[in-house]
Each structure stands twice: as C-alpha cells, then as structure tokens.
A = this chain, B = another copy of it.
Amino acid sequence: MNTQTQFAFRALADPTRRDIVRMLASEDLTIGQLTDRFDMTRAAVKKHLTVLSDGGLITVEARGRERINRLKPQGMAPVLDWFSYFDQFWDERLNNLKEAIERKKK
C-alpha cells in the first residue's frame, strides 16, 4: 500500500546500499568518491544511489559536473514507523530485543 515505506525497505535490503548510507552519515560524497570505496564500477554505484534516492534516503545536489550525495535521515522514518507498530507488543514479546540492544550499547 504505502510505496514510500516499501521503497525505503527495499533500498535498505542490500548490504552495499546500507554501507553507502553509513558512509554518507559521516560525510557527503560524490559518485566517484563512493566508487573508490567499493570494488565495483561507477555505473553499479550509481544504480545503488538511484535506489537509495527512490527510497528517500539520500538527496543529490549538483555542483558543477559533480553530484554531491547527502544522507537524508528523515527517509528512515517510514521504516522506523513500521517498527513502531510493535510498540503495543513490546512489553510482552520484545523484552529480549530491548535487552539485546542495551547489551550491545555497553
């Protein structure tokens, strides 16, 4: 039903795209700079960036002949909103999850 949610989930389903998202969390990067960090062609990276853009997870700003790819954190909202559906079950069924997150934070 909600295509935005679906596009965001789909964008995050690929490990390369999740890596890109993490990289863009640290700094804005051009396609060329991102390509340097992966073992694949620029065209492949560009495709991933298109999927991420469709998923609302990044924005692209043209600067001269370069394209600055920037993380758009709000794009993760639909995904986390989906998880919030489970709030009502949190106490009964997600106790272990909370503990797992807490444990990893220490």
Contact = CB atoms under 8 A, between A and B. Distances in A.
Given A10-B13, A18-B9, A90 B85 contact: no
Given A9-B13, A76-B97, A89 B18 contact: no
Given A25-B85, A74-B91, A105 B99 contact: yes
Interface residues of A, number: 39
A34 to B, nearest CB: 18
B73 A96 contact: yes
A97 B85 contact: no
B71 A84 contact: no
Q: For the complex, would chain A's binding face be called helix, strand, loop or mixed by DSSP majority?
A: helix
B77 A80 contact: no
Interface string A72-106: 01101101111111111111011011111110110
Interface of A: 1, 6, 9-10, 12-13, 15, 18, 22, 25, 71, 73-74, 76-77, 79-91, 93-94, 96-102, 104-105
